[in-house]
Structure 1
């Protein structure tokens, strides 16, 4: 599985928000919804080998992780309201330290970035921080199929978060010289992995 971690600094941590105002009242939940769709949807199908973890740090109860698992996911359509609805249903559950499933393929628990990083490290996963100041992803000699990619939202990442990520990351990768939206970054990274996978198959 490939894993994407998106840090939502303002995203609400309660299901009490309107699907008609994802950018405003929901704390830029629209960004996270676009990331979900970019990570999971193909033109005529879905990527079943992707997890996307939303680290929700907004009010009123910060520190929740919502995970979308492409292998088990159901009831998701390629629009922001659909993914927003599944997030909303997850947040309506009582989150504990252990994952609980809200709908098929969508899980919620308490936790934050450091908890995820510790779990990935314990499982010997290669973690990459996406930042325009990193090394060119196309010059990377090895990019494993089960890589973990960390991205910020419209606010980027805090200095504290960046230190935590860089302390354990295998590297910092750039997909180009300009800063792009997180959902666009995900599409480009997946395209690179698709091309690498095709080259390995043909070799």
Structure 2
């Protein structure tokens, strides 16, 4: 599988373009990575904090919780009850974080679902991706090319999402974790395809760093 360890990502030279810097990755050059179950603290650390998101204001601080079996995380959604049991029944911990960027009032949400092993996470990803994929982000959705972060991935954008403006949903699986990123806007300014790609690479790298036993350090540099 393609990994993002130890690489630097940059946008074009347009004014105001940010740089995605994956710093302190410390992984080998074979491109592989560990796939271990994460603790509650490790799940929280996968979520980008304010230092990792310059240019964005924190709306919801990164936080992880242990799910209550009767009430799975609200982000764990599937197309039917059987798939819901597969995707949501064995979550060990989950976490969320949210940011907003002005002046375009773009909302950015992250979520992590952690599982006891890679096989369980793989099955969960398939069930969740079926729900969030395609036109779930909005009518007429089109794929966004995000490269190959993590083990599995999908990203789609629509011209009109739930906030009334452009929106994206990106889904990833990295080892024992299933990750999600959604963006929305009340205006006309869209999060660019390049930025969607960079955010996905950063988030996947943080998940891999945690599973490698490292403190996640991948960040969006600039602002």
With normalisation by structure 2, the TM-score equals: 0.27
TM score, norm. by length of structure 1: 0.29
Structure with bigger helix share is 1
